[in-house]
Amino acid sequence: MKKALITGSAGFIGYHLARRLLDAGWQVMGIDNLSPYYDVTLKKRRHAMLAESPAFSAEIGAIETPGRLKELFARERPELVVHLAAQAGVRYSIEAPRSYLDANLAGSFELLEAARAHPPAHMLMASTSSVYGANTKMPYCEGDRADWQMSFYAATKKASEAMAHSYAHLYDLPITMFRFFTVYGPWGRPDMALFRFTRAILEGKPIDVYNHGRMKRDFTYVDDLTEAVTLLAAAAPRRPATSDEIAADDSLSPVAPFRVVNIGNGAPVELMDFIAAIEEATGVRAQKNMLPMQPGDVPATWADTALLRRLTGFAPKTDVRAGVRAFVDWYRVYYGI
Protein backbone atom coordinates (compact mmCIF):
# COMPACT_ATOMS: atom_id res chain seq x y z
CA MET A 1 0.00 0.00 0.00
CA LYS A 2 1.34 3.43 -0.94
CA LYS A 3 2.12 5.68 2.02
CA ALA A 4 1.51 9.43 2.26
CA LEU A 5 2.38 11.90 5.00
CA ILE A 6 0.19 14.98 5.42
CA THR A 7 1.24 17.82 7.71
CA GLY A 8 -1.73 19.77 9.05
CA SER A 9 -3.98 16.71 8.77
CA ALA A 10 -6.60 18.06 11.20
CA GLY A 11 -6.93 21.25 9.19
CA PHE A 12 -9.66 22.02 6.68
CA ILE A 13 -7.71 21.08 3.56
CA GLY A 14 -5.64 18.40 5.30
CA TYR A 15 -8.77 16.57 6.41
CA HIS A 16 -10.32 16.59 2.93
CA LEU A 17 -7.06 15.54 1.26
CA ALA A 18 -6.55 12.68 3.72
CA ARG A 19 -10.06 11.42 2.96
CA ARG A 20 -9.39 11.66 -0.77
CA LEU A 21 -6.14 9.69 -0.51
CA LEU A 22 -7.67 7.07 1.80
CA ASP A 23 -10.49 6.58 -0.71
CA ALA A 24 -7.84 6.08 -3.41
CA GLY A 25 -6.20 3.28 -1.42
CA TRP A 26 -3.33 5.14 0.25
CA GLN A 27 -2.09 4.61 3.78
CA VAL A 28 -2.07 8.09 5.34
CA MET A 29 -0.02 9.35 8.27
CA GLY A 30 -0.93 12.78 9.61
CA ILE A 31 0.70 15.25 11.94
CA ASP A 32 -0.99 18.28 13.47
CA ASN A 33 -0.40 20.41 16.56
CA LEU A 34 -4.13 21.18 17.05
CA SER A 35 -3.35 24.90 17.28
CA PRO A 36 -5.97 26.96 19.16
CA TYR A 37 -6.02 29.56 16.34
CA TYR A 38 -9.63 28.42 15.87
CA ASP A 39 -11.99 25.90 17.50
CA VAL A 40 -9.91 22.84 18.39
CA THR A 41 -13.09 20.77 18.72
CA LEU A 42 -13.55 21.08 14.97
CA LYS A 43 -10.00 19.85 14.36
CA LYS A 44 -10.40 16.91 16.74
CA ARG A 45 -13.65 15.93 15.04
CA ARG A 46 -11.94 15.89 11.64
CA HIS A 47 -9.16 13.64 12.99
CA ALA A 48 -11.69 11.37 14.66
CA MET A 49 -13.52 10.83 11.38
CA LEU A 50 -10.26 10.04 9.59
CA ALA A 51 -9.34 7.61 12.38
CA GLU A 52 -12.39 5.51 11.45
CA SER A 53 -10.20 4.20 8.63
CA PRO A 54 -7.60 1.60 9.69
CA ALA A 55 -5.29 3.07 7.03
CA PHE A 56 -5.04 6.40 8.88
CA SER A 57 -2.82 7.25 11.82
CA ALA A 58 -1.86 10.58 13.34
CA GLU A 59 0.72 12.18 15.57
CA ILE A 60 -0.03 15.30 17.61
CA GLY A 61 2.81 17.80 17.72
CA ALA A 62 4.37 20.91 16.22
CA ILE A 63 6.32 20.44 13.01
CA GLU A 64 8.77 23.18 14.01
CA THR A 65 10.02 21.09 16.95
CA PRO A 66 13.64 20.33 16.00
CA GLY A 67 14.05 16.77 14.77
CA ARG A 68 10.39 15.72 15.12
CA LEU A 69 9.74 15.47 11.38
CA LYS A 70 13.09 13.80 10.73
CA GLU A 71 12.16 11.07 13.20
CA LEU A 72 8.72 10.72 11.61
CA PHE A 73 10.19 10.45 8.09
CA ALA A 74 12.73 7.86 9.29
CA ARG A 75 10.00 5.75 10.87
CA GLU A 76 7.29 6.04 8.20
CA ARG A 77 9.35 6.45 4.99
CA PRO A 78 6.49 8.10 3.04
CA GLU A 79 6.52 8.02 -0.77
CA LEU A 80 4.39 11.16 -0.96
CA VAL A 81 4.52 14.16 1.37
CA VAL A 82 1.96 16.96 1.29
CA HIS A 83 2.88 19.92 3.46
CA LEU A 84 -0.20 21.86 4.57
CA ALA A 85 0.66 22.73 8.19
CA ALA A 86 0.97 26.49 8.56
CA GLN A 87 -0.26 29.45 10.49
CA ALA A 88 -2.97 30.72 8.16
CA GLY A 89 -4.71 34.04 7.75
CA VAL A 90 -3.70 37.33 6.17
CA ARG A 91 -5.16 39.56 8.89
CA TYR A 92 -3.91 37.56 11.87
CA SER A 93 -0.35 37.87 10.56
CA ILE A 94 -0.53 41.58 11.40
CA GLU A 95 -1.52 40.79 14.99
CA ALA A 96 0.75 37.79 15.69
CA PRO A 97 3.62 37.66 13.17
CA ARG A 98 5.88 35.45 15.31
CA SER A 99 3.49 32.52 15.01
CA TYR A 100 4.01 32.70 11.23
CA LEU A 101 7.77 32.78 11.67
CA ASP A 102 7.64 29.62 13.79
CA ALA A 103 5.11 27.52 11.88
CA ASN A 104 5.67 28.68 8.31
CA LEU A 105 9.42 29.23 8.18
CA ALA A 106 10.89 27.07 10.96
CA GLY A 107 8.30 24.37 10.23
CA SER A 108 9.10 24.32 6.52
CA PHE A 109 12.82 24.19 7.31
CA GLU A 110 12.30 21.12 9.52
CA LEU A 111 10.29 19.50 6.71
CA LEU A 112 13.01 20.14 4.15
CA GLU A 113 15.69 18.78 6.47
CA ALA A 114 13.62 15.64 7.03
CA ALA A 115 13.15 15.19 3.28
CA ARG A 116 16.88 15.66 2.70
CA ALA A 117 17.64 12.85 5.17
CA HIS A 118 14.85 10.55 3.93
CA PRO A 119 13.78 11.64 0.41
CA PRO A 120 10.19 10.93 -0.65
CA ALA A 121 9.39 10.30 -4.32
CA HIS A 122 7.52 13.61 -4.46
CA MET A 123 6.81 16.42 -2.01
CA LEU A 124 3.99 18.92 -2.56
CA MET A 125 4.06 22.08 -0.47
CA ALA A 126 1.17 24.52 -0.03
CA SER A 127 1.73 28.11 -1.01
CA THR A 128 -0.95 30.73 -1.64
CA SER A 129 -2.35 33.14 -4.19
CA SER A 130 -1.38 35.86 -1.71
CA VAL A 131 2.23 35.62 -2.93
CA TYR A 132 1.16 37.51 -6.08
CA GLY A 133 0.61 40.50 -3.78
CA ALA A 134 0.50 43.85 -5.56
CA ASN A 135 0.47 42.32 -9.05
CA THR A 136 -2.26 43.84 -11.21
CA LYS A 137 -1.88 41.62 -14.30
CA MET A 138 -4.76 39.16 -14.37
CA PRO A 139 -5.07 36.22 -14.40
CA TYR A 140 -2.08 35.37 -12.23
CA CYS A 141 0.32 33.04 -14.03
CA GLU A 142 2.99 30.95 -12.31
CA GLY A 143 5.73 32.61 -14.34
CA ASP A 144 4.69 36.12 -13.31
CA ARG A 145 6.95 38.09 -11.03
CA ALA A 146 5.80 37.74 -7.40
CA ASP A 147 7.95 40.07 -5.33
CA TRP A 148 5.54 42.49 -3.68
CA GLN A 149 3.74 40.58 -0.93
CA MET A 150 1.15 42.62 0.98
CA SER A 151 1.14 40.69 4.27
CA PHE A 152 3.63 38.85 6.45
CA TYR A 153 1.64 35.66 5.87
CA ALA A 154 2.24 35.98 2.12
CA ALA A 155 5.90 36.83 2.73
CA THR A 156 6.45 33.65 4.74
CA LYS A 157 4.86 31.58 1.98
CA LYS A 158 7.04 33.19 -0.70
CA ALA A 159 10.08 32.57 1.50
CA SER A 160 9.05 28.92 1.83
CA GLU A 161 8.98 28.65 -1.96
CA ALA A 162 12.55 29.98 -2.15
CA MET A 163 13.71 27.65 0.63
CA ALA A 164 12.13 24.66 -1.11
CA HIS A 165 13.75 25.54 -4.44
CA SER A 166 17.20 25.61 -2.86
CA TYR A 167 16.71 22.14 -1.35
CA ALA A 168 15.30 20.79 -4.62
CA HIS A 169 18.41 22.05 -6.40
CA LEU A 170 20.99 20.97 -3.83
CA TYR A 171 19.57 17.54 -2.97
CA ASP A 172 17.60 16.63 -6.12
CA LEU A 173 14.28 16.58 -4.23
CA PRO A 174 11.22 16.66 -6.54
CA ILE A 175 9.05 19.45 -5.12
CA THR A 176 5.82 20.99 -6.38
CA MET A 177 4.61 24.21 -4.76
CA PHE A 178 0.87 24.66 -5.25
CA ARG A 179 -0.61 28.13 -4.91
CA PHE A 180 -4.25 27.76 -3.94
CA PHE A 181 -6.95 30.39 -4.31
CA THR A 182 -9.56 31.02 -1.55
CA VAL A 183 -10.55 27.45 -0.76
CA TYR A 184 -14.02 26.90 0.72
CA GLY A 185 -16.44 24.08 1.49
CA PRO A 186 -17.82 21.86 4.29
CA TRP A 187 -15.67 21.60 7.43
CA GLY A 188 -14.11 24.95 6.53
CA ARG A 189 -12.20 27.31 8.81
CA PRO A 190 -14.27 29.57 11.11
CA ASP A 191 -12.03 32.57 10.30
CA MET A 192 -12.86 32.43 6.58
CA ALA A 193 -15.47 34.75 5.06
CA LEU A 194 -17.95 32.00 4.12
CA PHE A 195 -18.03 30.63 7.67
CA ARG A 196 -18.24 34.07 9.30
CA PHE A 197 -20.90 35.31 6.89
CA THR A 198 -23.05 32.18 7.22
CA ARG A 199 -22.90 32.26 11.01
CA ALA A 200 -23.77 35.96 11.21
CA ILE A 201 -26.57 35.74 8.65
CA LEU A 202 -28.22 32.77 10.39
CA GLU A 203 -27.89 34.54 13.76
CA GLY A 204 -29.46 37.73 12.38
CA LYS A 205 -26.25 39.74 12.84
CA PRO A 206 -24.63 42.11 10.33
CA ILE A 207 -21.61 41.08 8.22
CA ASP A 208 -18.56 43.26 7.56
CA VAL A 209 -18.07 43.82 3.82
CA TYR A 210 -14.65 45.28 3.06
CA ASN A 211 -13.72 47.66 0.27
CA HIS A 212 -17.46 48.38 0.09
CA GLY A 213 -17.93 45.06 -1.69
CA ARG A 214 -15.65 45.96 -4.61
CA MET A 215 -13.60 42.78 -4.39
CA LYS A 216 -13.21 39.63 -6.49
CA ARG A 217 -11.94 36.23 -5.44
CA ASP A 218 -11.17 33.07 -7.38
CA PHE A 219 -13.15 30.82 -5.01
CA THR A 220 -12.01 27.17 -5.21
CA TYR A 221 -14.19 24.37 -3.87
CA VAL A 222 -12.26 22.05 -1.58
CA ASP A 223 -13.07 18.85 -3.50
CA ASP A 224 -11.62 20.43 -6.64
CA LEU A 225 -8.46 21.34 -4.75
CA THR A 226 -7.94 17.86 -3.33
CA GLU A 227 -8.56 16.28 -6.72
CA ALA A 228 -5.94 18.57 -8.25
CA VAL A 229 -3.38 17.80 -5.52
CA THR A 230 -3.99 14.06 -5.85
CA LEU A 231 -3.44 14.22 -9.61
CA LEU A 232 -0.35 16.42 -9.20
CA ALA A 233 1.13 13.76 -6.91
CA ALA A 234 1.71 11.65 -10.03
CA ALA A 235 3.34 14.56 -11.90
CA ALA A 236 6.63 14.95 -10.04
CA PRO A 237 8.93 17.48 -11.72
CA ARG A 238 12.31 16.42 -13.09
CA ARG A 239 15.47 18.45 -13.31
CA PRO A 240 15.21 19.76 -16.89
CA ALA A 241 17.70 18.38 -19.37
CA THR A 242 17.01 20.81 -22.21
CA SER A 243 15.88 24.39 -22.72
CA ASP A 244 12.85 23.05 -24.59
CA GLU A 245 11.55 21.44 -21.40
CA ILE A 246 11.75 24.78 -19.60
CA ALA A 247 10.11 26.66 -22.46
CA ALA A 248 7.16 24.25 -22.38
CA ASP A 249 6.55 24.88 -18.67
CA ASP A 250 7.55 28.35 -17.52
CA SER A 251 7.27 27.51 -13.81
CA LEU A 252 9.74 24.62 -14.04
CA SER A 253 13.08 25.59 -12.54
CA PRO A 254 16.01 25.62 -14.99
CA VAL A 255 18.26 24.05 -12.32
CA ALA A 256 16.06 21.87 -10.08
CA PRO A 257 13.20 19.32 -10.06
CA PHE A 258 10.89 22.08 -8.85
CA ARG A 259 7.80 23.81 -10.16
CA VAL A 260 4.96 26.06 -9.04
CA VAL A 261 1.32 25.30 -9.97
CA ASN A 262 -1.80 27.42 -9.47
CA ILE A 263 -4.91 25.64 -8.20
CA GLY A 264 -7.96 27.86 -8.63
CA ASN A 265 -11.33 27.87 -10.32
CA GLY A 266 -10.06 30.16 -13.06
CA ALA A 267 -13.12 32.40 -12.77
CA PRO A 268 -13.18 35.23 -10.20
CA VAL A 269 -16.48 35.97 -8.44
CA GLU A 270 -17.62 39.38 -7.22
CA LEU A 271 -17.84 39.50 -3.42
CA MET A 272 -21.43 40.74 -3.59
CA ASP A 273 -22.35 37.76 -5.81
CA PHE A 274 -20.70 35.45 -3.26
CA ILE A 275 -22.81 37.02 -0.50
CA ALA A 276 -25.90 36.62 -2.69
CA ALA A 277 -25.13 32.90 -2.99
CA ILE A 278 -25.03 32.64 0.82
CA GLU A 279 -28.33 34.51 1.06
CA GLU A 280 -29.86 32.12 -1.45
CA ALA A 281 -28.57 29.05 0.39
CA THR A 282 -29.67 30.27 3.83
CA GLY A 283 -32.90 31.91 2.71
CA VAL A 284 -31.98 35.00 4.77
CA ARG A 285 -31.10 38.50 3.58
CA ALA A 286 -27.76 39.74 4.94
CA GLN A 287 -27.36 42.95 6.90
CA LYS A 288 -24.20 44.56 5.57
CA ASN A 289 -21.65 46.88 7.18
CA MET A 290 -19.84 48.44 4.22
CA LEU A 291 -16.24 49.12 5.26
CA PRO A 292 -12.92 50.23 3.66
CA MET A 293 -10.22 47.77 2.56
CA GLN A 294 -8.30 46.08 5.35
CA PRO A 295 -4.50 46.32 5.61
CA GLY A 296 -2.69 43.52 3.79
CA ASP A 297 -5.65 42.63 1.59
CA VAL A 298 -5.86 42.78 -2.22
CA PRO A 299 -8.87 43.77 -4.34
CA ALA A 300 -8.84 40.73 -6.66
CA THR A 301 -7.39 37.28 -7.32
CA TRP A 302 -7.67 35.20 -10.48
CA ALA A 303 -5.80 32.00 -11.33
CA ASP A 304 -4.46 31.03 -14.70
CA THR A 305 -5.00 27.25 -14.56
CA ALA A 306 -3.54 26.30 -17.94
CA LEU A 307 -0.50 24.61 -16.38
CA LEU A 308 -2.65 22.52 -14.03
CA ARG A 309 -4.69 21.35 -17.03
CA ARG A 310 -1.54 20.47 -18.99
CA LEU A 311 -0.07 18.46 -16.12
CA THR A 312 -3.20 16.64 -14.97
CA GLY A 313 -5.96 17.07 -17.55
CA PHE A 314 -8.10 18.47 -14.75
CA ALA A 315 -9.69 21.88 -14.32
CA PRO A 316 -11.64 22.88 -11.17
CA LYS A 317 -15.20 23.70 -12.16
CA THR A 318 -17.56 23.67 -9.15
CA ASP A 319 -20.06 26.51 -9.45
CA VAL A 320 -19.87 28.84 -6.46
CA ARG A 321 -23.60 28.59 -5.75
CA ALA A 322 -23.40 24.80 -5.54
CA GLY A 323 -20.30 24.97 -3.36
CA VAL A 324 -21.81 27.54 -1.01
CA ARG A 325 -24.97 25.49 -0.69
CA ALA A 326 -22.94 22.40 0.25
CA PHE A 327 -21.20 24.42 2.98
CA VAL A 328 -24.46 25.87 4.35
CA ASP A 329 -26.05 22.40 4.39
CA TRP A 330 -23.05 21.07 6.35
CA TYR A 331 -23.13 24.05 8.73
CA ARG A 332 -26.82 23.52 9.54
CA VAL A 333 -26.28 19.84 10.30
CA TYR A 334 -23.07 20.33 12.31
CA TYR A 335 -24.51 23.08 14.48
CA GLY A 336 -28.05 21.69 14.58
CA ILE A 337 -29.66 24.76 13.01
Active-site residues, by number, are 153
Question: Is residue 235 exposed (0-12), middle (13-18) or buried (19+ Cβ within 10 Å)?
Answer: middle
Beta-bridge mates of residue 32: 60
Sign of CA dihedral 282, 286, 291, 292: positive
Q: Under 8 Å CB-to-CB from 19, ≥6 apart: which residues?
A: 49, 50, 226
Phi, psi of 218 (to 5 degrees): -90, 80
> How many other CB atoms are found less than 10 A from the CB of residue 201?
22
CA 292/CA 309 separation, integer angstroms: 36
How far apart CA 236 and CA 257 sit, in angstroms, is 8
Closest Cα to residue 182, out of 316, 28, 76? Answer: 316
